[in-house]
Amino acid sequence: MTTLKDVARASGVSVMTVSNVINGVPRVGAATRERVLRAIDDLGYEVNLTARRLRSGTSGTVALVVPRADHPYFGELAAAFTTALRATGRHLVIEQSGASKEGELTALSQARLQMYDGVLLSAVGLQYADVDRLQPDLPLVLLGEKPMPPQFDQIQLGNVEGARLATAHLLARGARSVALFGGTAAPSDGGMQDQRTQGWRAAHEAVGRTADDRLLILDPGDLEMAPSRKTIRDAVSNGLELDAVFAITDQSAIGVIAGLRDLGLRVPQDVQVIGFDNLEIGEHVWPELTTIDPSNDWLVAQAVRLLERRMRGDHGEAEHLVTPVSLVERGSTR
């Protein structure tokens, strides 16, 4: 078994320095910290979290609770959190909630939290009232779409503004019939789909038009590529006339492009398409996907700052932040 002495020898520092890096002591220089972390990776050193918590009261581990770890958006988010937390000497553990209330509550249960110093929770299944009743013993930062109780730090995506920006871009590029793929016919839980539908409507109102509900292609039940491809193909085959699509996620947008091509329609010449998330895969489809960037780097930096603040014992007023958004213009729009 690799020991602290092995890591110290491999990185050319003292055992105390290795311990400081593992425990997140801030006085270690960035270059030294990186050298030690590289040696830890190379040697496969594993921290005994139970012993560490008993000894110091902390584990140096943060949990990120997401609906699905295999979803590209959450995968990219987890990678960014891993890098950001590693710079502070902390480790990331990913918990999957299945986007259910039960899964999210289980991830927050005391039995699971005993090994964590703090939790980053992407709340999907939990509603306002559920969260309002929570009394977590560990620092908690909420990530997600729905407004949450004011006593918790929260970072929301700029869904309304992003959707407005996406739809406005299509309208400015000459589109007359902008379909919304994955929207909602009526407000439900105030989540992502509700908010992005609101932005779609707002963009039409801003140019003196009313969004046509006949152009609402409701959530097909799965916003991934394959079902989105079939859903758009069926909608157009059944007579839906459109010249642009705002798909509320990049994955669904990529499926939409494939479905339109199945019907012999060209993107962007016949139908323009824009997504939301700025996933890396969007740069590697043809045409490259125009999308909304939700500023995940900003989200990660702010979430880590808030969590570090709580882990230091700061009990000040909670912060509620909304990410800035921007348009990334590529080849799927004119």
pLDDT of res. 42 = 85
- Lowest-confidence region among 31-35, 129-133, 292-296: 31-35
Highest-confidence range of 11-15, 16-20, 130-134, 265-269, by mean pLDDT?
265-269
Q: Provide the token pair at 190.
A: 């105030």
Tell me the pLDDT band of 89, cut-offs 50, 70 and 90: confident
pLDDT for the residue numbered 88: 85
pLDDT reported for residue 135: 81
Are the beta carbons of 307 and 155 closer than 8 angstroms?
no
**Confidence tier at 40 by pLDDT (50, 70, 90):** confident
Cβ atoms 320, 150 nearer than 8 A: yes
The more confident residue out of 23 and 112 is 23
Q: What was the pLDDT predicted at 34?
A: 85
Tokens of 236: 């157009």
Contacts of 32 (CB under 8 A, 6+ apart): 11, 13, 17, 21
Q: Return the amino acid letter for 230.
A: K
Contact (Cβ atoms closer than 8 angstroms) between residue 81 and residue 303: yes
Q: Are 323 and 298 in contact (CB under 8 A)?
A: yes
**Mean pLDDT score, 108-124:** 79
The whole-number average pLDDT for the span 79-83 is 95
Percent of the chain with pLDDT over 90: 66
Least confident of 113-117, 250-254, 268-272, 305-309: 113-117
When mean pLDDT is compared across 3-12, 16-25, 52-61, 143-152, the lowest value belongs to 52-61
Question: pLDDT averaged over the chain?
Answer: 90
Q: What is the mean pLDDT of residues 35-45?
A: 83
Position 315: which residue type?
Answer: H
Span 37-57, mean pLDDT? 66
Look at residue 236 and tell me whether its pLDDT is greater than 90.
yes
Of 45-49, 262-266, 292-296, 309-313, minimum mean pLDDT range? 45-49
Residue 136 binned pLDDT confidence (cut-offs 50, 70, 90):
confident
Read off the pLDDT of residues 165-200 as tens digits, 9 standing for 90 and up: 999 999 999 999 999 999 998 877 788 999 999 999
| Position 243 pLDDT exceeds 90 | yes
Name the one residue in this structure whose structure tokens are 């949450």. Answer: 148
Range with top average pLDDT, 32-41, 181-190, 315-324: 315-324
Q: What is the mean pLDDT of residues 106-114?
A: 67
**Backbone φ, ψ for residue 252 (5° rounding):** -70, -35
* Confidence label for 54 from pLDDT (cuts 50, 70 and 90): very low
Taking the CA atoms of 40, 113, 190 and 150 in sequence, report the sign of the dihedral they define: negative
Q: Is the pLDDT of residue 15 over 80?
A: yes
Confidence band of 23 (pLDDT split at 50, 70, 90): low
Token pair 């139970």 is found at 50
Q: Which domains does the chain have, with CATH numbers?
A: 4-46 (1.10.260.40), 59-157+296-324 (3.40.50.2300), 159-293 (3.40.50.2300)
